[in-house]
Amino acid sequence: MKMKSVAGEAREIGRAADLIRLGARLQLLESETKLSRERLLRLYKEIVGKSPPKGMLPFSTDWFMTWQPNIHASLFMNIYRYLDKTSALDEVEALTRAYRLYREQIGRLDMPEALSITRAWRLTKFFEADMLALAPCRKCRGHFVVHAYDLTEQYVCGLCHMPSRAGKTRAAGAFRTDAQAPVAH
């Protein structure tokens, strides 16, 4: 019988608590820590004050291809890749640090977060499985998330070529004053 290290278990609990505070779902915790499901459930309830949400995790790569999620996913993935290449962090540490940096940048732009920690984790798994990749935009030269086997020689990102309906949400329309409202003829 192998003896458990108290220090190792404390690190795992700290890692799980950190992920829970960032909003991680139970499936992410089970996959990235060595703690039992029962311990994770107790820890989740202790930190959040309620049971974790149930249901399946998002599995489609298509969500990351739509305009706004693609920009958020691309920002996160560029940060994650940079940390992965330039530091000695393990995958989970790189994930949490990259996600915090992503949130910090989005916060500075006063934008709502489109990417949860769980979606960011799924994104890294899609990259590991060679389902998604980064491709350079031929106009701005930034690197954006694309399907791994798409032809990307002439790729133009969603920032350089915004969709016609970009930014035209109900929230944006709610800020329109009467003077800006269209005139009925």
Identify whether 182 is part of a domain.
no
Structure tokens at 15: 């890692």
Q: What is the pLDDT of residue 167?
A: 64
Would you call 108 exposed, middle or buried from its count of C-beta atoms within 10 A (0-12, 13-18, 19+)?
exposed
Q: What is the pLDDT of residue 68?
A: 93
Identify whether 178 is part of a domain.
no
Q: Please check whether residues 24 and 96 belong to one and the same domain.
A: no
- Cα separation, 100 vs 118, whole angstroms: 13
Q: What is the pLDDT of residue 2?
A: 52
Q: What is the mean pLDDT of each run of 10 residues along the chain (185 residues)?
A: 74 95 95 95 96 84 94 97 96 97 94 93 96 96 96 93 71 39 40
What's the domain range around 41? 7-48
Q: What is the pLDDT of residue 111?
A: 86
Query: In whole angstroms, how large is the CA radius of gyration of the chain?
Result: 20
pTM of this structure: 0.84
Q: Please check whether residues 23 and 72 belong to one and the same domain.
A: no
- Cα separation, 29 vs 153, whole angstroms: 38
- Cα separation, 14 vs 9, whole angstroms: 9
- For residue 166, give the CATH number of its domain: 1.10.10
